[in-house]
Each structure stands twice: as C-alpha cells, then as structure tokens.
Amino acid sequence: MELQGKTIIITGASSGIGAAAALLFASTGANVVLGARRQGELDRLVGQITQSHGNAVCLVGDVSEEAYNQELVTLAEQQFGGLHGAFNNAGTTGDMGSIPDMKTETWQEVLAVNLTSGFFAAKHQIPSLRKSGGGSLVFTSSFVGHTIGFPGMGAYAAAKAGLIGMTQVLAAEHGGEGIRVNALLPGGTMTPMAGEDADFHAMVRGFHALKRMAEPAEIAQAALFLLSDRASFVTGSAMLADGGNSITKL
C-alpha cells in the first residue's frame, strides 16, 4: 500500500495510461482525484474504484484552462483534506503534419494541452503540496522529442521536451521543501492515442528493444514508483519507461 492515505490528482484519467494509473494508485491506498473532459468515462472509473472500496472523485474540465487546474487542487483539499502528489498526464498529439504545413492553431493547441497545462498544474499544486509538508509531481513526457525525432510531431515533441526542462527547474526550486518533481517518458503504449493501424503498431514495436509496445498498466507502475516514497531520492529526472527504444538502432 505504497500510497496509503495520500491524495493524488491524475489528469488524462478517462483513458489509457491515466485510467490504468487511477486503478493502480487507488489499489495501493491513494485517494484519487480524476480529471479529463469525458464525464461518462470518469464516472465509470470512480464507480469501479469505489466498488472496490477505494476512494475516488472526479471533475470534468480542460487542462489547458488555468481555472480547471486550480479546481482540481481545491477538490482534493476539500474532499480529502490535502494534496500529496499529482500525475499530470493528459496529452494530445493534435493533427500531425510537418512544421511548414502545420496550422498555427494546431501548434498552439498542442502546446496548450501538453505544456502550458503543466505550468498551470505546477502553479496550483505546489502551494498545496507545501501545506502537506512536501510531495511528488510527475509529468508525462515522451520519447518523442527526447530520443526520437518523429516526423509529423513537431508541436508534440516541442511540448514534451519543454516538460522536461520545466521539471528540472521545478525540482531545483522546490527540492528544499521536500517536493520531488520528475518527468516520465513512456515508449510506445497501447492506448487510443496509438490508434488502431496494425502496420503503424508493427513499425512502432520495431523501435523498441523489447519488440513490443507497453501496456498502459506498465507505464502506471513507473508513475507509481515516482509518486511513492520508494523514489525518495529521485528528483529532476527524465525517467525512461521506453522498452529500450532509446538504445535501439537495429
């Protein structure tokens, strides 16, 4: 029960990695505060967790809006008495295309959802973690923009690389207050974001030393480690859970 009694915000909880994290964290004792835009998916997940005697609440909203990030923190404090961590995980690839062909609106949307959301999250979560005497933040970055230049994903790569830079600064700024901040870099993971094209999946599998894509629950385990006290001396890292895609050249 690594997260027993801890209250953790999880964004992007309606699907994929975030949904797997919600189930895993709740099963290890966390009170989870779930965020995404789809009410039905969040309600189903809250029902599943509470039926298993876990503690979960949800709030629908858009992570690119500052007020929503603040409201998630307020909900955590009001419902469970404080905040101990967050898995800031919501993300979107946006419309893919080369930079010269990319609409400015696409660039702005992808940066807003993947990167500016991280700024809003940290801005409102850190004061709450301070009140709890410390805590742990995890931002979902990606191998895209770090170890692989994936054609068509310029805005996404810029946003995910930006999260790593912000993570380092946050870790340096708040380490003395007992607040750890890390970026988690999943490899290709079988979620709706990866689509349903079998040829594409086969190509992505080939990038990885393990010759497969991850299950969402495997990435959730890495996030659990970073949020738990097992990672008590881990901060400012860009932690790969990438099936070895960063070291694969053949």
Ligand X SMILES: NC(=O)c1ccc[n+]([C@@H]2O[C@H](COP(=O)([O-])OP(=O)(O)OC[C@H]3O[C@@H](n4cnc5c(N)ncnc54)[C@H](OP(=O)(O)O)[C@@H]3O)[C@@H](O)[C@H]2O)c1
Residues lying near ligand X in the complex (CB under 6 A) are found at 11-18, 36-38, 41, 62-64, 89-92, 113, 140, 142, 186, 188-189, 191-194
Distance between CA atoms of 5 and 156, rounded to whole angstroms? 35
54 vs 186, which CB is nearer to ligand X?
A: 186
Helix (H) or strand (E) holding 36: strand 31-36
Dihedral (CA of 95, 114, 33, 190) sign = positive
The residue type of 43 is D
* Helix segments in 33-103, DSSP class H: 39-51, 66-80
We find the least distance from the C-beta atom of residue 141 to ligand X, in angstroms, to be: 7
- Does 156 participate in catalysis according to the annotation? yes
Q: What distance lies between CA 167 and its chain's CA centroid?
A: 12
Contact 66, 21 (CB under 8 A): no
We find the least distance from the C-beta atom of residue 4 to ligand X, in angstroms, to be: 25
The residue type of 42 is L
* Structure-token pair, residue 65: 């809006």
We find the least distance from the C-beta atom of residue 28 to ligand X, in angstroms, to be: 19
Q: How far is the first Cα of the chain from the last one, in angstroms, to the nearest whole number? A: 40
Please return the burial class of 40, using the count of CB atoms within 10 Å of its CB with bins 0-12, 13-18 and 19+: exposed
We find the least distance from the C-beta atom of residue 49 to ligand X, in angstroms, to be: 15
Rg (CA), the chain: 17
Distance between CA atoms of 107 and 152, rounded to whole angstroms? 12
User: Which residue of the set 59, 156, 171, 207 is catalytic?
Assistant: 156
User: Which residues carry out catalysis?
Assistant: 156
